[in-house]
Chains A and B, each alone.
Chain A
Amino acid sequence: MVPVLEIRNLHVSVEDKPILKGVNLTVKQGEVHALMGPNGTGKSTLAYALMGHPNYTVTAGQVIFKGVDLLELEPDERSRLGLFLAFQYPVAIPGVSVANFLRTAINSRRRAANPEDKGIPIPEFRKLLRAKLDLLQMSHDFAGRYLNEGFSGGEKKRAEILQLATLEPDIAVLDETDSGLDIDALRIVASGVNMLAGPSLGVLVITHYQRILNYIKPQFVHIMLDGRIVESGGADLALHLEEQGYDWVREKYPEKAEN
Chain B
Amino acid sequence: MATQNEELATLSDYKYGFKDDVKYTFRSRKGLNAEVITELSHMKGEPQWMLDFRLKALEIFNKKPMPTWGGEINLDFDEITYYTRPSDKTEGNWDDVPADIKNTFDKLGIPEAERKFLAGVGAQYESEMVYHSVQKHLEEQGVIFLSSDDGLRQYPELFREHFGKVIPATDNKFAACNSAVWSGGSFVYVPKGVKVEMPLQAYFRLNAEGTGQFERTLIIVDEGAQVHYVEGCTAPTYSRDSFHSGVIEIIVKKNARCRYSTIQNWSNNVYNLVTQRAVVHEGATMEWVDANLGSKLTMKYPSCYLVGEGAHGEILSMAFAGPGQHQDTGGKIIHGAPNTSSKITSKSISRAGGRASYRGLLKVYKGAHGAKSSVVCDALLIDDKSRSDTYPYIEIDEDDVTIGHEASVSKVGEDQLFYLMSRGLSQEEATSMVVSGFIEPLVKELPMEYAIEMNRLIALQMEGSVG
B424 and A167 contacting across the interface, CB-CB below 8 Å: yes
In this assembly, does A54 line the interface, its C-beta being within 8 Å of a C-beta of chain B?
yes
Known: A104-B425, A104-B433, A108-B426. A91 touches B413 (CB 8 A): yes
A105 and B437 contacting across the interface, CB-CB below 8 Å: no
A108 and B437 contacting across the interface, CB-CB below 8 Å: no
- Contact code string A72-91 (vs B, CB < 8 Å = 1, else 0): 00111011100011010011
Task: Give residues of chain B (431-450) contacting chain A, Cβ–Cβ below 8 Å.
Answer: 433-434, 436-441
Task: Report chain A residues within 8 Å CB of B1.
Answer: 52, 54, 74-75
> Of B420, B422, B430, B441, which is within 8 A of A95 by CB?
B441
B425 and A95 contacting across the interface, CB-CB below 8 Å: no
In this assembly, does B427 line the interface, its C-beta being within 8 Å of a C-beta of chain A?
yes
Which residue of chain B is the closest to A149 with respect to CB atoms?
B437
| Given A76-B421, A79-B424, A96-B440: 7 more A-B contacts, CB < 8 Å | A51-B422, A53-B418, A76-B423, A79-B422, A79-B423, A93-B416, A104-B429
A76 and B427 contacting across the interface, CB-CB below 8 Å: yes
Task: Report chain A residues within 8 Å CB of B426.
Answer: 76, 108
In this assembly, does A33 line the interface, its C-beta being within 8 Å of a C-beta of chain B?
no
> Of A75, A94, A104, A108, which is within 8 A of B418 by CB?
A75
A interface, CB within 8 angstroms of B: 51-55, 74-76, 78-80, 84-85, 87, 90-91, 93-96, 101, 104-105, 108-109, 112, 146, 163, 167
Task: Report chain B residues within 8 Å CB of A75.
Answer: 1, 418, 421-422
A95 and B424 contacting across the interface, CB-CB below 8 Å: no
> Of B418, B420, B424, B436, which is within 8 A of A54 by CB?
B418
Bound CA span A87–B415, Å: 11
In this assembly, does B414 line the interface, its C-beta being within 8 Å of a C-beta of chain A?
yes
Bound CA span A54–B3, Å: 9
B423 and A95 contacting across the interface, CB-CB below 8 Å: no
A93 and B421 contacting across the interface, CB-CB below 8 Å: no
Known: A93-B416, A93-B433, A96-B433. A76 touches B438 (CB 8 A): no
In this assembly, does B53 line the interface, its C-beta being within 8 Å of a C-beta of chain A?
no
B7 nearest CB across to chain A (Å):
14
Which residue of chain A is the closest to B426 with respect to CB atoms?
A76
A44 nearest CB across to chain B (Å):
13
B437 and A96 contacting across the interface, CB-CB below 8 Å: yes
In this assembly, does B26 line the interface, its C-beta being within 8 Å of a C-beta of chain A?
no
Bound CA span A61–B369, Å: 71
Which of A55, A87, A95, A108: most chain B Cβ within 10 A? A95
Which of A76, A79, A101: most chain B Cβ within 10 A? A76
Which residue of chain B is the closest to A110 with respect to CB atoms?
B424
Interface of B is mostly: helix
Task: Report chain B residues within 8 Å CB of A85.
Answer: 422
Which residue of chain B is the closest to A92 with respect to CB atoms?
B416
In this assembly, does B419 line the interface, its C-beta being within 8 Å of a C-beta of chain A?
yes
Task: Report chain A residues within 8 Å CB of B418.
Answer: 51, 53-54, 75, 91
B425 and A105 contacting across the interface, CB-CB below 8 Å: yes
Bound CA span A57–B423, Å: 21
Bound CA span A75–B427, Å: 9
B72 nearest CB across to chain A (Å):
32
Bound CA span A89–B290, Å: 36
A-B pairs with lowest CB-CB distance, top 7: A95-B437, A95-B440, A96-B437, A91-B419, A79-B424, A75-B421, A105-B423
Which residue of chain B is the closest to A51 with respect to CB atoms?
B422
Bound CA span A55–B438, Å: 25
B439 and A95 contacting across the interface, CB-CB below 8 Å: yes
Task: Report chain A residues within 8 Å CB of B433.
Answer: 93, 96, 101, 104
Task: Report chain A residues within 8 Å CB of B420.
Answer: 93, 101
Bound CA span A109–B429, Å: 12
B424 and A74 contacting across the interface, CB-CB below 8 Å: no
Which residue of chain B is the closest to A91 with respect to CB atoms?
B419
Task: Report chain B residues within 8 Å CB of A84.
Answer: 422
> Of B419, B424, B439, B440, which is within 8 A of A108 by CB?
B424
Which of B3, B418, B427, B436: most chain A Cβ within 10 A? B418
